[in-house]
Amino acid sequence: MAFREHMDSTSFTIDSPGTLVPTPFGCEAFVPNALPPQMPVDRELRLADERALLSLGELRAIIPSLPNPALITTPFLRREAVLSSKIEGTKTELEGLFLFETTHRKPTADRKTGSDAKEVVNYVVALKYGLEALKELPVCNRILKGSHAHLMEGIRDERGRDKLPGKFRKSQAYVGTDDILTARYVAPPFQKVEELMGDLEIFINSKNDNLPTLVRIALIHYQFEAIHPFSDGNGRVGRLLISLLLAATGILSQPLLYLSAYFERNREEYNRLLWEVSRSGAWREWLTFFLDGVDQESRDAAARARNILQLREEYRTRAQAEGTPAMVRLAESLFSWPILTSKSAKTILGITSAGILKIISRMEKMGLITEVTGFKRNRIYVAKEIMHLMS
């Protein structure tokens, strides 16, 4: 999470929202104070919050026009999984993720590609688990541990050890190098994680600080990353936590806003601002950055959703011109799942294989889908135009 070449304890100021504690490794670790910080929400911050909320309102206004929320939520969630995982170094693109999920391929032939796809699929499962769990629970450590368990399922380190899925870490965490003495950031000792995460859970579910909701979410994201509670996957769970908080607060009734694209575009600034909060209590700069991200990504998501809905109407019109209701249904299905096989088409339409092959052939000639395997059998088709809008 840090920005500096290494964590220099002498650079911490009196305004740092935490304390430095010694470790057995000859360096100090940072332990953040409990939230909220003693920080005024000035006029500029409130204006940034209002801009972000206005853009969120524009995105929220699209939801009632959706014939089926999955039309947008399914691809948006997977786009977030790809981008959030890419920050951690995976190479899977959106089309590759959809193909991997469609074919259920194991990471055998191309081990690295398959392993990356597995990690991204795990993110999808983890986020879906968290959103579903919110129907019965508030945002809490139980949900975060459950999401982490799904995220790390089947993932092992270079020595073949698992990464304590669903459990807080039991060792010292640090970021940036293989040597703790030159690490960019040294997280709190593992003995303090339970207490720190307990305090964070209390803050998440408290309602008596009068802070704007988006400001609270930004504070929570910083605190989670500063605590670094898991042995791996903290960045992804921290970004996932933002989505859970937006859903839990009711700001968005459907999970349409994600910030990984913004954090990826501004990765160095993101890291620097988190570090500056720890080092000198630079809350205002971090909060402004976060609120600007909500503003930008809300407007991007709204534009992306409108473009997808417009393209859907174009596909409907073109399919209707063919005079086959079955083709209309199949064309519409591409917007929630832009990969098509004869097997999936049969599930959607329930007609004969000969009829399905005829419709797929016509859709391919119309340019709605493109065959990507080159096989004679078990062919796979991608709706490239839709995929492009989603990506």
pLDDT tens readout for residues 193-226: 999 999 999 999 998 788 999 999 999 999 999 9
Kindly indicate whether the domain formed by 324-390 is annotated with CATH number 3.40.50.300: no
234-260: b (≥16 Cβ within 10 Å) or e: bbbbbbbbbbbbbbbeebbebbbbbbb
Residue 300, pLDDT score:
96
Gap between the Cα atoms of 316 and 163, Å rounded: 47
The yes-or-no verdict on residue 276 having pLDDT over 80 is yes
Cβ distance 349 to 330 under 8 Å?
yes
**Tally of CB atoms within 10 A around 374:** 7
Cβ distance 107 to 56 under 8 Å?
no
The yes-or-no verdict on residue 305 having pLDDT over 50 is yes
Residue 89, pLDDT score:
85
Residue 84, pLDDT score:
92
Same fold, 9-304 and 324-390: no
CATH number of 9-304: 1.10.3290.10
> Tens digits of per-residue pLDDT, 150-163?
999 988 765 446 78
Gap between the Cα atoms of 59 and 201, Å rounded: 28
Task: Identify the residue whose tokens are 């630079």.
Answer: 282
Three-state DSSP at 119 gives helix
Task: Identify the residue whose tokens are 């809490």.
Answer: 140
Q: Residue 187 — pLDDT band, cuts 50, 70, 90?
A: very high
Percent of the chain clearing pLDDT 90 (strictly above): 76
| 266 CB-contact burial (10 Å; exposed 0-12 / middle 13-18 / buried 19+) | middle
Gap between the Cα atoms of 305 and 268, Å rounded: 28
Residue 267, pLDDT score:
94
286-306 average pLDDT score? 97
**Tally of CB atoms within 10 A around 40:** 8
Q: Domain extents for the chain?
A: 9-304, 324-390
> Tens digits of per-residue pLDDT, 308-348?
999 999 999 999 998 789 999 999 999 989 999 999 999 99
Mean pLDDT (the chain) is 91
